[in-house]
Amino acid sequence: MTKEDVAKLRAEIETSLAQAKSIEDLNSIKVKYLGKKGFLTNFLKSLKELPLEERRELGSLLNQIKDELEEALKVKEREILLAEEDKITELDLSLSGREPELGALHPLTIVISEICSLFERLGFEIAEGPEVESDFYNFTALNIPEWHPARDMQATFYLENGALLRTHTSPIQVRTMLRKKPPLRIIAPGKVYRCDADVRHSPMFHQIEGLMVDEKVRFSDLKGILIYFAQNLFGKDTKVRFRPSYFPFTEPSLEMDISCVICNGRGCRVCSQTGWLEILGAGMVHPEVFRAVGYDPSRWQGFAFGLGVERIAMIKYGIDDIRLFFDNHLYFLSSFK
């Protein structure tokens, strides 16, 4: 090793430093010259082989280079970091970001989900049933014999093979009770079909059926459950009203109204000036239904209720034409993100 070697090394280092553009470049320089196998380190090690006079002269030159290099690395690092910061502020932060687009669930799915959750919290399990049904499950087992005028209340679609499209979700009660032993609590959403079409009626719509059977189920319990439901879905100040009604598969039967959400009970077009909106039918399960499924009516009692999902969605979201749910216009669907 000679003085010229050292001078060459210095020149090399200075060039590398000048060319360094990034932190990585600096790190490679560090490793190349100051690392365990770096040039400077090797030169310093090889000083041992030199005579004393040269050792001292070259040694001090090399150490000087080492110190200067370490200092220069620090300075250069700071320079580079500052330059990078400047680069960031060159960006225009007022530009929009690449927003991921969100879709949405259908409002009926949202309402069904909300209502089912309400009941799942109380220990109701979700049940399902076929949409194509038999006369037995849809009518006869529910105490609606073939010639009964109550069938006029539900215009039925018939299929070419004699089966029908279920007109309510109540058949699920029968199927579940035939499949399981009491006690039980189910909530059953699903599509139902009736031959009816206008602003408030669609030939296909959705209902949710609830059923609870146990040894000590009472009419007052039914009231309690329904009030819990109304207040959780529409707000805790919601007022409700119960009216006697008639269904062949419940006795006593009732219908529940909530105070009109549009006019707050004062009377308007939506509630036909009555101040009340009907939202569901319910009652204590009729003993004939228990007999049809093999439950002993003297031991078991139950209540059942059925509500129309579209109706509830229309009330909750202020929609006045049921057909909007099935037109599926994107602007309509987007309001439910």
Query: Considering beta carbons, is residue 39 or 336 the nearer one to another protein?
Result: 336
Closer of 59 and 203 to another protein (Cβ):
203
106: CB partners within 8 A, 6+ apart:
325, 328, 333, 336
**Restricting to residues 31-60, which ones interact with another protein according to CB under 8 A?**
none
Q: Which of residues 276-295 bind another protein (CB under 8 A)?
A: 284, 286-287
Tell the smallest beta-carbon distance from residue 29 to another protein (Å).
Answer: 37
Check if the beta carbon of residue 262 is closer than 8 Å to that of residue 270.
Answer: yes
Distance between CA atoms of 62 and 7, rounded to whole angstroms?
10
Query: Of 4 and 147, which CB lies nearer to another protein in the complex structure?
Result: 147
Q: Which of residues 154-183 bind another protein (CB under 8 A)?
A: 157-161, 163, 165, 183
Measured on CA atoms in the order 20, 21, 26, 32, is the torsion positive or negative?
A: negative
Of the two residues 86 and 146, which places its CB atom closer to another protein in the complex? Answer: 146
Own/partner pairs, 270-276, CB within 8 angstroms, 24+ separation: 270/320, 276/241
- Answer for which of 4, 37, 123, 294 binds another protein (CB under 8 A) is 123
Q: Which residues contact 253 (CB under 8 A, 6 or more apart)?
A: 244, 245, 246, 247, 281, 282, 283
Among 12, 79, 197, 317, binds another protein (CB under 8 A): 197
Interacting residues with another protein between 295 and 324 (CB under 8 A) = 301
Judged by CB under 8 A, which of 252, 261, 262, 270 binds another protein? 252
Secondary structure (3-state) at 204: strand
Q: Of the two residues 20 and 167, which places its CB atom closer to another protein in the complex?
A: 167
Part in contact with another protein (CB under 8 A); list of ranges 5-13, 52-60, 67-75, 238-246:
238-246
The residue from 102, 198, 237, 299 that contacts another protein (CB under 8 A) is 102
Query: Comparing C-alpha atoms, which of 270, 280, 282 is closest to residue 321?
Result: 270
- Start-to-end CA span in the chain (Å): 76
Which of 297, 282, 142 lies closest to 222, judged by CA? 282
Within 207-236, which residues bind another protein (CB under 8 A)? Answer: 212, 214, 216-221, 223-225, 227-228
18 forms part of the interface with another protein (CB under 8 A): no
Structure tokens at 32: 């190349």
Nearer to another protein, 319 or 333 (CB): 333
Q: Which is nearer to another protein, 207 or 253 (CB)?
A: 253
Among candidates 220, 217, 238, which has minimal Cα distance to 229? Answer: 238
